[in-house]
Structure 1
Amino acid sequence: MDIFSLFTLCGGLAFFLYGMTTMSKSLEKMAGGKLERLLKRMTSNPIKSLLLGAGITIAIQSSSAMTVMLVGLVNSGVMEISQTIGVIMGSNIGTTMTAWILSLTGIESKNVFVNMLKPENFSPLLALAGVLLIMGSKKQRRRDVGRVLVGFSILMYGMELMKGSVSPLADLPEFSQILTAFQNPLLGVLVGAVITGVIQSSSASVGILQALALTGSITYGMAIPIIMGQNIGTCVTTFISAIGVNRNARRVSVIHVAFNIIGTAVGLVVFFGGNLIFHFTFMDEATGAVGIAFCHTVFNVVTTALLLPFSRQLERLARRLVSDETKAEEFAFLDPLLLRTPSVAISECTAMTNRMGALARENLLLAIRQLSDFSDTRENQIVENEDKLDIYEDRLGSYLVQVSQHGVSMDDIRTVSRLLHAIGDFERIGDHALNLQDSARELHERGLTFSGPAAAELQVLISALEDILEAALDCFTAADAAAAQSIEPLEETIDRLVEEIRSRHIARLQTGACTIQLGFILNDLLGNFERVSDHCSNIAVSVIEEKSGDVSRHAYLHELTAADGFSSTLRSDLGKYRLPEEAE
């Protein structure tokens, strides 16, 4: 054992951590918004939460990423604290899967097929397959699969380097003397917690312990306290993620820490107390990689079984340790923590953009109502909503730009593009609602009313405008490209209605049936109505662009207007929104 063995150990750890990070990030990207949608379906059923937490952690191979995600979702108001408890416990069980995979390195057999189960034997093939997928595939998903394979191979290579670097320790008497200190279980817990806290990966610290166990120098009595301490050390990542978040999110980290500390304390008392009474014969036996994985799993399963019935008590403890605060602001869920899982962040941005669209629609309908039934209270509501829409656009736009810089998939890039287009259109619809409100106030203050024919024509146009707004918002919320194709014919119908109403208004001016003052107001209304329908068209096209990949907006509109389906839909809409016959 020399200084170069230490260098190799450090290099192996570096490869291990890099491989774990690469694999975890690629798995998260492949999962997309499914993780967030699954978590949102959580109920108060603790068993369902437990299974889901274990399943997601196994899928993304990172309990730390799982817990950080929970902190971000609670900080956003998407999840309640009670929903996270089962998920946290499940993630502790799910993370033990990595130890079982690493334990395969200890397989010894002359059989070719059995030897192929050893990761060091099959991981080079996975690395080759991964590189071929990354370099040769045009599809993002296949490249992500390739990165998962390469990440796993790097992880296993790091494990082999660590195993090789520590193998000479078995022959060093000084190493044996150091290990005697670990007969003290409290020291074992402390060492496990510190090492895991420093490298911020329980999987990596368990891997180091498994590599040391392959020297034959680690007994069960030494390993079990270290494993308990590793569970405490992994809470460091959660603590770091809880900096700068609201109190509810900090309570998630408190629950995570409390769960592991209580489990370790009970485990130490019961296990080592039982050893004093029953003198477990296996305590001084050397353990291997499989034994480490087994102890890791048993400890987490038993701790979960013990504390799951006390979920409410854990929540009360967290609330007592972290006192109440005022309600979080409406936009708090644009949490920087969610940038660590870009697909989840994009899913939250989608939900927020849908809320923005609903607010824009509400504001426009309020402004339209002002034209026939003016109210100062309604005016204040319109102005307040417009301020909110401006905040939505500013914060969403900035956040989406940040998300797009965090290695998102092509599907997510197209979603970000759709959202960026839409928030601008929603904000402009809010501006037009404010313009309509100004026109309504002018009519109210001057005591002006439109003539009977003009009012009837405006009602037809308003009906078409409300329908296109509803249809555009529905297709955007559902990301339904088929429904979006019905928007453009209706937008063309509104353009023709506006043109016809202007023409009729000019005729009425010439006969003196309408005043120039009302004409200016009517022209403003028509202009705003027409622009709102244009924005609805933009929203629909952004949905089609997302679902169709690289389709050109202008090419799509050109092809659509030349299609027979467009003409038939247009004729149908023109028949539905027919203006009243002009008086002779």
Structure 2
Amino acid sequence: MSIFDVLDLVCGLALFLFGINFMGETLKRSAGNRLKVFLENITASPIKGFFFGVAVTAAMQSSSATTVMVVGFVNSGAMTLSQAISVIMGANVGTTVTSWLTGLSGLGTVGEETVSFLRWLKPSSFVPIVALIGIILYMFGKSSARKNIGSILLGFSILMVGMELMSAAVSPLAESESFKATLLWFEDPILGVFVGALMTAILQSSSAAVGILQSLTVTGAINFENAIPILLGQNIGTCITTIIASIGAGKNAKRAAFVHLYFNIIGVTVFMSLFYLINNIVGLPFASDSIDVWGIAIVHTVFNILSVLLIAPFARQLEKLVCITVRDNKKSGSI
């Protein structure tokens, strides 16, 4: 990679992060108190809470934003810890939507040929139109609703441009022997998980970290065995934001933050154990195959859905675990 490729990568990442944040902030601003009232009205229905977590996170493009918001509501007493668990589980599934959106950058090309009807789903084909509509609505819209829609469309366009820029910047790595040699380090799954968690902790966005991993797949040098530990580690790294947000909050708010952490740690442990156990016993035919942007999106989604299916039946036990982790004050018994 030349210095210009590195600059393109950094600029692409900056645009990607800005696009995600711009969309999320606009949605939070436009929803405002309506979002808070709806969240406060989630009472005894874990299913409603789960789907609310999915929808809000998919809209805001950030599971961290949803879980931080949940921590705030638990801290204020507007939501109980048991209610928070279902919303947090939904947030983990909702965050996978971004990986499917960024996966659009891999559409339309099969070998050296371009599939015409899929080409129109590539960002380079439709993003300029979306951006133009967004600019018109933002600049000339008379109502705040139209301006907000314009802002959301602009944020989405910026996000996709950033993804395209990152993919183009790292494409020369496909011919780099040193890059391929570096990837051999990640055959150690523990190291892969650590690197993935560190990436997300630094970026404060699992969506951005997953987007970087997706952009690297254009090199063709990353296989499922390399990618899965990094991807799972990114799910753990996103919990750092929630933990930080709970500092100085009440005990139940801290417990809600630990729900997010334990959910991902348990899911990663089980998923990785099963993957490597099955691969070592029978040999998964795709394990050594190169992974693409859609493969990342599929693994990301399957992991989070399976984690929900695994942990949801034990929600009460998870609640007890976080209560053991963050104990009540023995003298006052207050929360």
TM-score grouping bracket, smaller chain normalisation: over 0.9
Larger Rg: 1
Distance 1:165 1:111 in 2: 24
The runs of 4+ residues in structure 1 deviating greater than 4 Å are 326-329
The alignment's TM-score, normalised by the length of structure 1, stands at 0.55
- 1:61 aligned onto 2:61: yes
- Residue deviations 1:90-139, cap 9 Å, x none? 11001101101111110125354421111222111111111111111121
**TM-score (normalised: structure 2):** 0.95
Secondary structure of 2:290's counterpart equals coil
SS in 1 for 2:222: coil
Shift of the alpha carbon at 1:59?
2.0
Equivalent position amino acid for 1:37 in 2:
V
> How many equivalent residue pairs?
329
Q: Distance in 2 between matches of 1:137 and 1:327?
A: 54
CA distance in 1, matches of 2:267, 2:115: 41
Q: Is the 8 A contact 1:64 1:201 kept in 2?
A: yes
User: Do the aligned residues in 1 keep the contact of 2:174 with 2:218 (CA within 8 Å)?
Assistant: no
Q: How does 1:122-133 map to 2 (within 5 A)?
A: 122-133=126-137
The 5 Å alignment of 1:304-343 reads: 304-325=308-329, 326=332
> Is 1:187 equivalent to 2:191 in the alignment?
yes
Q: Is 2:307 the counterpart of 1:271?
A: no
Report the equivalent of 1:563.
none
SS in 2 for 1:281: coil
* CA distances 1:132-166 after superposition (whole Å, capped 9, x unpaired): 11111121111111110111111111111110110
> In structure 2, what is the Cα distance between the partners aligned to 1:146 and 1:268?
41
Letter in 2 for 1:152: F
* 1:489-528 → structure 2 map (5 Å cutoff): none
Root mean square deviation, CA, Å? 1.4
Rounded Cα–Cα distance in structure 2 between residues aligned with 1:189 and 1:65:
23
Contact 1:46/1:308, CA 8 A, preserved across alignment = no
SS of residue matched to 1:318: helix
What is aligned with 1:252?
256
Bigger mean CA deviation after superposition, 107-116 or 226-235: 107-116
Q: Say which SS state the counterpart of residue 286 (structure 1) adopts.
A: coil
Q: For residue 7 of structure 1, what is the aligned residue in structure 2?
A: 7
Counterpart of 1:238 in structure 2 is 242
CA shift for structure 1 position 174: 0.3
- CA deviation after TM superposition for structure 1 residue 48, in Å: 2.3
Q: Deviations over 1:277-315 (max 9, x none)?
A: 111111100010001000000000001100001101111
In structure 1, distance between residues paired with 2:33 and 2:129: 30
2:105 aligned partner: 105
Q: Is residue 2:298 matched to residue 1:287? A: no
Identity score, percent: 48
8 A Cα contact 2:255 2:326, kept in partner = yes
Return the alpha-carbon distance in structure 1 between the equivalents of residues 30 and 115 of structure 2: 36
Paired residues of 2:108 and 2:121 also in contact (CA < 8 A): no
Q: Which residue of 2 aligns with 1:215?
A: 219
In structure 2, give the amino acid aligned to 1:38.
Answer: F
Structure 1 gaps, min length 5: 330-584
Residue of 194, 198, 202 corresponding to 2:206: 202
SS where residue 218 of structure 1 aligns?
coil
CA 17–328 in structure 1, closer or farther in 2 if over 3 Å, else same: farther
> Equivalent residue for 1:493?
none
Secondary structure of 2:287 counterpart: helix
Task: Give the superposition deviation at 1:192.
Answer: 0.6
1:328 deviation in Å? 7.0
Q: Take 1:173 and 1:133, find their aligned partners in 2: how far apart are those partners?
A: 47
What amino acid maps onto 2:158 in structure 1? I
| Match of residue 168, structure 2, among 157, 164, 169 | 164
> How many angstroms apart in 1 are the aligned matches of 2:251 and 2:142?
45
